[in-house]
Amino acid sequence: MLGGMNSRTPAAPWELPLNRRIFVSRTLNLNAIRAVGFDMDYTLVLYDENKLENLAFEGAVDFLVRERGYPETLRELKFSSDRVVRGLVADKSLGNLVKINRFGYVKAALHGDHFYSRDDVRRIYANQIVTFLDPRYEMAHTLFSLSTCSLYCQLVKLYEGKASFEELYRHVDEAIGHAHRQGFLKSRIMARPQDFVLLDPDYATTLRMLRSFGKRLVLVTNSEWEFTQAMMSYSYDRYLPKGQTWRDLFELVVVSAAKPQFFTERPRFYEVIPESGHLKNLRGALSAGSIYQGGNAAEVESFLGLNRGQILYVGDHVYSDVLLSKKSSKWRTMLVITELESELAAAGRAQPVLAKVRELMVQKEELELRLSYHRRVQADPSFRGHEGPPQEMDESSLKSEISKLDTQLAPLIREYESQFHPYWGELLWSGNDKSHLSMVIERYACTHTSKVSNLLGYSPAHYFRPPTKSYL
């Protein structure tokens, strides 16, 4: 065993706890994967979500005050993570944050700091289907979107009736983008990485394991070289053998990749001079061990000499890392959903209650079937000869038994729901249906998991298969 590889003893996949598993939407044979590409932020480098988003929030507020004429009192606003989650949709026309199911129907909505009742949601969004072809809607794809959602809600409350909701969203989006792009955020993280970056030795172990099985590793990040070098060095070098750095793990490093254009277009590569960060024109083909800026997925494939099905890309951005890498480049995909860790822990705690709910629902559905049959016979007595459920009770008795079950179910359902987000519920569910986020994951992510190091629980030759189909 390689030195440092035993920071966590891999378990057999069937013994892994829920929050250490890799979930499968589409068959993925790791043995056929020859190269693995990784995003950096929230994928290979972990951050304290609340601290990082609070910093982005502060930077955005500072921009709005200095550059967009908002009052100094705006600085009193604080980032709040308790009302925002990944996968929400901003309705820029009505100033709402909404959660939609896989069919595009709105199931919950927040306006400012007010959560609408279910009746209000039905009234406001009656017969409306959310589609992202409509510029009215914008989805919160990643954890980086949380500060955007939090600031937008607070501005909606402050400026309702004084500014259009579309204008407020444009200002927030511009301000958050400025905080990320113009160095406000990254300069502070680089100055004190210990305040923002979460260290985990298993990440270095995971990359070394993949390399030991002959996987070629590629880093493709939208972050610029200076920030990438600082974050990767801080997160990995301490866990590598003496004399090695994080760069020794990767055959190719691409910074400022401008995803999703990296997957959809053919911009040129520039070579980065590591010592200075300066750029020079790339003459000839890509070479192993070098640092590049920009570029495109097609030339990476050519450099690796692999077909699209032999490359797995791992990232946290639903749109840039998974949806477009799958649709445009046809690379295999793994989505990292950090929040899945706590979500699965909650699901584990709620399992005994869910088992009771399911048991009672079986009884209720049987009674409802009997009631339906009884009414069918009442409407057409000739139907009595058809095979149906046993009818020991009359309609009144059936209704009474169903009502008793409802009385038992109501507190159990409340107890189950209390384990998850108090306003938005389960991350991948919207009521009794799958959420839009869940639908996108199933459609475009071959696999998904809560953290990259969960690969340690599986062999690099593992054959991932989706759940067996069943009509039961």
Q: Which helix (H) or strand (E) holds 42?
A: none
Q: How far apart are CA 41 and CA 227, in angstroms?
A: 10
- CB-based contacts of 431: which residues, under 8 Å, 6+ apart? 101, 107, 425
The residue type at 191: A
Largest Cα span, the chain: 88
Beta strands 463-464; 28-29: pairing state: antiparallel
Q: What is the pLDDT of residues 235-254, one digit of tens each?
A: 999 999 999 999 999 999 99
Classify 70 as helix, strand or coil.
Answer: coil
Q: What is the pLDDT of residues 155-199, one digit of tens each?
A: 999 999 999 999 999 999 999 999 988 778 999 999 999 999 999
Which of left, alpha, beta for 295 (phi over 0: left; psi -120 to 50: alpha)? left
Q: How far apart are CA 308 and CA 326, in angstroms?
A: 10
End-to-end CA distance of the chain: 45
Q: What are the angstrom distances between the C-alpha of 173 and each of 57, 61, 87, 92, 157? A: 11, 11, 16, 11, 17
Position 7 scores a pLDDT of 40
Token readout for 182 is 């113009």
Position 14 scores a pLDDT of 60
Q: How far apart are CA 173 and CA 29, in angstroms?
A: 39
Asked, as a colleague might, if the bond just before 260 is cis with ω within 30 of 0, I would say yes
Q: How far apart are CA 16 and CA 124, in angstroms?
A: 44
Q: Is 150 exposed, middle or buried (0-12, 13-18, 19+ CB in 10 A)?
A: buried
Token readout for 32 is 């056929």
Token readout for 249 is 């793990």
Please list the pLDDT of the chain residue by residue as tens digits (472 residues).
Answer: 333 333 444 455 567 888 899 999 999 999 999 999 999 999 999 999 999 999 999 999 999 999 999 999 999 999 988 899 989 999 999 999 999 999 999 999 999 999 999 999 999 999 899 999 899 999 988 777 899 999 999 999 999 999 999 999 999 999 999 998 877 899 999 999 999 999 999 999 999 999 999 999 999 999 999 999 999 999 999 999 999 999 999 999 999 999 989 998 899 999 999 999 999 999 889 999 999 999 999 999 999 999 989 999 999 987 777 766 666 778 999 999 999 999 999 998 999 999 999 999 999 999 999 888 888 877 877 766 566 566 667 889 999 999 999 999 999 999 999 999 999 999 999 988 999 999 999 988 999 999 999 999 999 999 999 987 655 5
**For the chain, what are the domain ranges?**
13-47+196-336, 49-191, 350-426
Q: How far apart are CA 94 and CA 4, in angstroms?
A: 54
Q: How far apart are CA 99 and CA 105, in angstroms?
A: 8
The domain 13-47+196-336 having CATH identifier 3.20.10.10: the answer here is no
Token readout for 310 is 């032999």
